Structure 1
């Protein structure tokens, strides 16, 4: 434990050191003077001035008192709607005012604006000029000649300089405009031209000189210069608090040095300007709370930096504390878990900084809130997967697995294998603390005088191919165990072609085999199994369950039944496996996908006595089954439901990852998806049925068991459902980004999705390489198969939310099902293609702006399309030639012949004089049969 604590302290210290190393501090020229002018709009909040954002005298007076020590003058952009209150109040605090008259296409409003501006000049001696229109030509609101007429009209009625505010290039393109004004009011905003903050000041001075050269002798005022403190980049122009501070401090010093007249845009952040893109609200040198964003002298630093560092460290420490509860964690395991916890802490601090440093209108606040709500479970899922990676890669080896003694793993054919030894372990549940020593003693006693309690094997069948079921029964008959019976129950199958051959075969196999043909059975498979229990021998102590397609190994019962010598053991589970994985390439990768659950997830869950019961290859103590009420018919996953009931009542469970039975894979991709849909829907039914028992004191579940089941459901049902929900929401958001140019998802929302995908990919690849004995190509195929059912699982969860019961759908096996004529990934194809199209549209629309967040958003859409496209790929593969192994074999042969690695096999010719041999009668008979 000391080593673990040392690791946690080390990671925390390293995290703090990283914050210290990356603390940004920039140098910029000090400015200790007073700004000549700043742009001021007396509006507050996020409401548009034309709607409900009317300023009042108290707010204006407070603002101007704040600005008076900073600037000698202010520039206004309109003269109505409450702005007319500003000049007289500015006179009270000694501020000069450049009045603005807002000009657009509204003739009546233009008239009111000009008359109000003229009136303000006449009644306020502190007004030093009028700006008629702001970027009116650039916005296409007026023609140049019409604007000149308005300027001349105002000039004729006032005795202060009159001009218009325009982007610098408009002045160069329309020299007649410059001739009509008293001075040139040029806007130079390098951000909007895509210049980086390091080039912004140089660019401004170059343009200033161009204007001086173009209009010698004319008074030139840089009426707008600024840099945003937040928002999205535009090409090389990156907004930010450091960039704003350094750029403005550099600019004012160099402007003062050359005697430039200038106005800084703007005094106070205007959150209502969200329509001007991501940077619109963030041009102020004061934030919306009227607080300075930066200091005009000394190093440029983030004053809230260490607060954020403290939040990151605190969250990291809190998320690391559960490591102390792990049973003997290794140093590397603790390091990986703690590093992940502190990574989440850094993300939380970043989210906090974003939330406190941005302004939100209703839509963007809703989008951010919804995004964070969806990301929290996504982050929890990623943390759970990292925990499993750490446990498998660096934790202790599994110690509760049932396994054969080393000396008898490969016995000679003539020597019977002794029973499995129970591994010494100390699970967390109170009732299993003494399991280690007792397990060894039980194993030794079993070896000396093996107990042979009677086992009743139940095989439910529903329209199963008779030949396949006969193979299952023959394998049961070969069991190397003297004391068992087999109850075969065929339910709701009135066709005698399915029932009569099995009844006859049971008679041939002997009195151990009982045949039941039950019609009109209710409760799906559980109803059939309840009938089987009624026909079970009274002296049977253990119930074995196998599916109708499973061929069991002879030593299944002999190896696993001794585990029940411990009276606390209620259930023993063996893994599923399949004997037809080489039927096609699709079946090959499907079988690899199944293997991951049984070699990774089940092994880890077994360490905490929290396995998921999956029906076939399962042995259950009869007393445990009767204690929990037997098979329940209110879910379509009756096996997992019963297993959880048994665990909730305090029984021990055991698992072995050794294969004792081999079944058949689903015939088609359609059957594969239907099976996964049934599992997911049944799993959600179980959640709704059992969630109350996960409350403290509601059952005998230990905290570890509660956590394992909850995270397991979240990791499976939640991850797949969240993936689909987030993908669809992102797809809906694409047109908002493209056409509205607002609410682009920030990196705090998109990068966690990418990180989660990377964690999921690493989780799959690392754990498969460490635990699953399959080739790399098969592993990659298994990954595609696992991704391909995301839509299927999410549909099952959605149906589980709105429905109570769906009919049990039998999985078609044995090669007797017909291929559906429908394309089995239609909706996946639609969503996958739309996601790719959305990504392409984002990239194309971003060609000019080159906003980084849009590219990241597009990358997220591409990643989110992969599960949907995986389903499309398998659906296409199923009906293609490449699904056949013969195709690959023939292709390999042809390739080898083409490159000369093997001689070309020429067809043999039969001499013309010799007739082709005719088959004999027996051969003809054999071929036709």
Structure 2
């Protein structure tokens, strides 16, 4: 344990060191002077000024008091709605004011704005100019000639310079507009023109010089220059707090050096400008709390950096503490888990930084909260998978696993070997008689002296199904009991309860077999001795299938089943927390009675009973040796129905047993509770979460594509990609280490596992709104026919919509090339894979390539074409030559 503690401390120290190593620090020219002008809007919060955002005198005074220490003048954009209060208050602090008249298509409002601007210019001596309209021509709300008339009208009414604010190219393209104003107020915002932060200052100086050259003798002012501190990128233009500081300090230094007249946009962040895209609220040199966002002198650093580092390291340590509860973890195991925990800590710090450094309207706050809420279980699932990777790859070998060939201690009475009586129960419902006969014949060959077999066929009135079995049981001898029960209530559990009533009184152990399972002769001989320990209540052997070579689909399905029995069950067995499945299991009769026997209130009566037994304190054991082989579901439809039943029954079990996971409510240990909880979350939660997130992301596609709202990648989309990578690594690593299958079958198993995501999520949804669904028998034995309906219709619909959504995002993002949107499109593609996997298997099932013969013949033909094997030519027998007499006869 000391070594593990040392590893945790080492990882925490390394994590802190990495934060120190990657601390960003940039240099830029110092500026110790006073800015000539900054744009100012006295509004607060996220409410639009036209709706409800009227500033107060006190708030304006506080703002201008702060601004008076960093600027000599302010630029306003309107003259109504509370902004008219600014000029007289600015005079109190010695601030000059350039007033603005907001001009758009609303003529009534335009008149009010112009009148108000004129009055402000006349009544306040600190007003040094009037700007009539702001990018009005650029937005197409006024024609240049109409705007010129408005400018002329204002010029006649005031004694200060009058102009309009427009992007630099509008001045270039409309020289009449330039000649109508007293000075050119040009906006140069390199971000919106896709320039990088390193190009921004050069671009601004170049445009300034261009206008001076085009209009010699005319005063030219860069009336807007700035860089956003947050938001999404436009091509190579990346916002950021460091980028903003460097750009502005470089610009101010260059502007002062060449004597440029300029105005910085803007003084204070404006959260209400969310309609200007992700960067709209973040152009201020002060944040919305009126605090400086960067220093104008010295190295540029993040003042909150070490606060974030502390959060990351502390969360990493907190997430690492459960490692101390593991049973003798190895150094590599602890190292892997602690490193993963540190990664979660870094993500948590990123989330904190984003949440505290951004402004949210209700909709964005709700969407972000929902996204983070969904990510919490996703992170827990990813951590659980990392833990399993670490345990299998670097941990100790399984210690409780029963291995074939290892000596077991048989039960003894008075020094002689005892063979407890085993009663094997086989429930059957419309099962193919020949298949069931094979199962019974295998039981008859068991190498165990003391057993009986109870066959119960329930609710199967057709004699063609039960009569041959009745006759076969008679032929096998008195050990085999046959029951034909009609109108049985409670599905499979009801039939098993009847079997218990007909069980021999001296039977101590109950064995459960599905009707399709052919067991090996050593099943009871090897596993019954485990019950010599009186604490053992159940011994489980894995499922296996003997018809994996029926088709390519069955081949990959068999590989998918194997993963659960060779990985998950082996690991859960270490904590005495296995999932009991209703075949190949042996149950102590006393444990079954204590647990209440078979219950019909779930459709997974086997797992329900197993959990009941564990909750009463009994030990369970597991072996991954295949003592029996059954049959795979006949069709993909049957495969999905079986998985639906397991998932729905699993959710029923959660609803039934969750109270027993509370402290003191059962004899479950802390590790058992953890294994079951994470197991349910890892299976039911992961699949359901995947579907929910995919559908929510589909809903977001038009918002992202057409409303300029990007999904923050570091806190939402990149974690989804990271979780997918963990899941992929979990599958590939554990399969290679634990499951003896070939590469092709492994990848096929991965597709089969993904293909049931929609099925499992539907089962969970139905479990939320219903209490009971009927038990659905899994069709086996070749009697069922493939449905004419396409078995992945809804998966196809959702999968195609996800791909269409990704395509729409890429196409609409082609001009702006916003990184976050590309990442979001990639997430949609990843989320489509489970749905498309279902489509692929449904198509495979009905195609020629599902046949192994097709692949064999294709391999032979390919080998012949490339000359690796000789072409087998058909032999042609030459027709017999006619004799001379026949020739003469034909001629005649």
Secondary structure in 2 matching 1:514: strand
Secondary structure in 1 matching 2:50: coil
Secondary structure in 1 matching 2:751: helix
What is the rounded CA distance, in whole Å, between the counterparts of 1:60 and 1:335 in structure 2? Answer: 55
Tell me which of 700, 703, 715 is aligned to 1:736.
Answer: 703
Who is 1:27 aligned against? 27
Instruction: Give 1:910 shift.
Output: 5.4
Instruction: Point out the more displaced range, 738-747 or 583-592.
Output: 738-747
Who is 1:180 aligned against? 180
Who is 1:334 aligned against? 334
Who is 2:92 aligned against? 92
What is the rounded CA distance, in whole Å, between the counterparts of 1:659 and 1:4 in structure 2? Answer: 36
Secondary structure in 2 matching 1:238: coil
Aligned counterparts, 1:890-929, within 5 A: 890-909=857-876
What is the rounded CA distance, in whole Å, between the counterparts of 2:415 and 2:880 in structure 1? Answer: 76
Kept in 1, the 8 Å contact 2:274–2:281? The answer is: yes
Who is 2:887 aligned against? none
Deviations 1:558-615 (A, max 9, x none): 0000000100000000000000000000000000000000000000000000000001
Q: Residue 345 in 1 paired to residue 345 in 2? A: yes
What is the rounded CA distance, in whole Å, between the counterparts of 1:629 and 1:905 in structure 2? Answer: 67
Deviations 1:81-103 (A, max 9, x none): 11100001111111000000000
Kept in 1, the 8 Å contact 2:648–2:764? The answer is: yes
Instruction: Give 1:738 shift.
Output: 1.0
Q: Residue 863 in 1 paired to residue 830 in 2? A: yes
Q: Residue 563 in 1 paired to residue 530 in 2? A: yes
Q: CA RMSD in A?
A: 1.2
Kept in 2, the 8 Å contact 1:745–1:857? The answer is: no
Who is 2:42 aligned against? 42
Who is 1:575 aligned against? 542
Q: Residue 719 in 1 paired to residue 683 in 2? A: no
Instruction: Give 1:404 shift.
Output: 3.2
Deviations 1:321-343 (A, max 9, x none): 11111111111100000000000
What is the rounded CA distance, in whole Å, between the counterparts of 1:744 and 1:567 in structure 2? Answer: 58
Query: TM-score, length-normalised on structure 1?
Result: 0.94
Q: Residue 77 in 1 paired to residue 77 in 2? A: yes
What is the rounded CA distance, in whole Å, between the counterparts of 1:850 and 1:124 in structure 2? Answer: 47
Secondary structure in 2 matching 1:294: coil
Kept in 1, the 8 Å contact 2:710–2:821? The answer is: no
Q: Residue 522 in 1 paired to residue 489 in 2? A: yes
Who is 1:303 aligned against? 303
What is the rounded CA distance, in whole Å, between the counterparts of 1:447 and 1:809 in structure 2? Answer: 48
Kept in 2, the 8 Å contact 1:451–1:562? The answer is: no
Who is 1:433 aligned against? none
Q: Count residues with an aligned counterpart.
A: 881
Secondary structure in 2 matching 1:667: coil
What is the rounded CA distance, in whole Å, between the counterparts of 1:567 and 1:867 in structure 2? Answer: 45
Who is 1:12 aligned against? 12
Secondary structure in 1 matching 2:49: coil
Deviations 1:127-180 (A, max 9, x none): 000000000000000000000000000000100000000000000000000000
What is the rounded CA distance, in whole Å, between the counterparts of 2:595 and 2:800 in structure 1? Answer: 48
Who is 2:136 aligned against? 136
Who is 1:209 aligned against? 209
Secondary structure in 1 matching 2:587: strand
Aligned counterparts, 1:584-623, within 5 A: 584-623=551-590
What is the rounded CA distance, in whole Å, between the counterparts of 2:630 and 2:127 in structure 1? Answer: 90
Kept in 1, the 8 Å contact 2:68–2:95? The answer is: yes
Secondary structure in 1 matching 2:449: coil
Q: Residue 882 in 1 paired to residue 839 in 2? A: no
Q: Residue 491 in 1 paired to residue 452 in 2? A: no
Secondary structure in 2 matching 1:823: coil
- Distance 1:906-1:370 versus aligned 2 partners, 3 A rule: same
What is the rounded CA distance, in whole Å, between the counterparts of 1:810 and 1:497 in structure 2? Answer: 18
Kept in 1, the 8 Å contact 2:427–2:514? The answer is: yes
Secondary structure in 2 matching 1:224: strand
Kept in 2, the 8 Å contact 1:7–1:334? The answer is: yes
Who is 2:779 aligned against? 812
Secondary structure in 1 matching 2:663: coil
What is the rounded CA distance, in whole Å, between the counterparts of 1:799 and 1:447 in structure 2? Answer: 55
Secondary structure in 2 matching 1:464: coil
Who is 1:226 aligned against? 226
Tell me which of 781, 787, 809 is aligned to 1:842.
Answer: 809
Tell me which of 771, 790, 808 is aligned to 1:823.
Answer: 790
Q: Residue 476 in 1 paired to residue 458 in 2? A: no
Who is 1:284 aligned against? 284
- Distance 1:72-1:7 versus aligned 2 partners, 3 A rule: same
Instruction: Give 1:375 shift.
Output: 0.2
What is the rounded CA distance, in whole Å, between the counterparts of 2:47 and 2:19 in structure 1? Answer: 37
Deviations 1:704-754 (A, max 9, x none): 000000000000000000000000000100001111112534331000000
Kept in 2, the 8 Å contact 1:364–1:743? The answer is: no
What is the rounded CA distance, in whole Å, between the counterparts of 2:480 and 2:877 in structure 1? Answer: 57
Secondary structure in 2 matching 1:25: coil
Secondary structure in 1 matching 2:311: helix
Q: Residue 698 in 1 paired to residue 665 in 2? A: yes
Instruction: Give 1:403 shift.
Output: 1.6
Deviations 1:895-916 (A, max 9, x none): 11111111111223456569xx
Kept in 2, the 8 Å contact 1:785–1:870? The answer is: yes
Query: TM-score, length-normalised on structure 2?
Result: 0.98
Who is 1:362 aligned against? 362
Who is 2:888 aligned against? none
What is the rounded CA distance, in whole Å, between the counterparts of 1:448 and 1:80 in structure 2? Answer: 104
Kept in 2, the 8 Å contact 1:542–1:619? The answer is: yes
Aligned counterparts, 1:610-649, within 5 A: 610-649=577-616
Instruction: Point out the more displaced range, 877-886 or 738-747.
Output: 738-747
Who is 2:434 aligned against? 467
Q: Residue 676 in 1 paired to residue 662 in 2? A: no
What is the rounded CA distance, in whole Å, between the counterparts of 2:334 and 2:18 in structure 1? Answer: 19
Kept in 1, the 8 Å contact 2:410–2:417? The answer is: no
Secondary structure in 2 matching 1:583: coil
What is the rounded CA distance, in whole Å, between the counterparts of 2:603 and 2:775 in structure 1? Answer: 6
What is the rounded CA distance, in whole Å, between the counterparts of 1:326 and 1:135 in structure 2? Answer: 65
What is the rounded CA distance, in whole Å, between the counterparts of 2:188 and 2:385 in structure 1? Answer: 51
Kept in 1, the 8 Å contact 2:230–2:241? The answer is: yes
Who is 1:413 aligned against? none
What is the rounded CA distance, in whole Å, between the counterparts of 1:752 and 1:622 in structure 2? Answer: 48
What is the rounded CA distance, in whole Å, between the counterparts of 2:626 and 2:506 in structure 1? Answer: 28
What is the rounded CA distance, in whole Å, between the counterparts of 1:913 and 1:512 in structure 2? Answer: 69
Kept in 2, the 8 Å contact 1:576–1:659? The answer is: yes
- Distance 1:508-1:767 versus aligned 2 partners, 3 A rule: same
Who is 2:884 aligned against? none
Aligned counterparts, 1:67-466, within 5 A: 67-405=67-405, 420-421=407-408, 442=409, 449-466=416-433
Kept in 1, the 8 Å contact 2:442–2:521? The answer is: yes
Who is 1:920 aligned against? none
What is the rounded CA distance, in whole Å, between the counterparts of 1:90 and 1:912 in structure 2? Answer: 117
Who is 2:886 aligned against? none
Q: Residue 770 in 1 paired to residue 737 in 2? A: yes
Kept in 2, the 8 Å contact 1:456–1:536? The answer is: yes
Who is 1:538 aligned against? 505
What is the rounded CA distance, in whole Å, between the counterparts of 1:182 and 1:368 in structure 2? Answer: 48
Instruction: Give 1:2 shift.
Output: 1.4
What is the rounded CA distance, in whole Å, between the counterparts of 2:469 and 2:182 in structure 1? Answer: 105
What is the rounded CA distance, in whole Å, between the counterparts of 1:743 and 1:802 in structure 2? Answer: 34
Secondary structure in 1 matching 2:424: strand
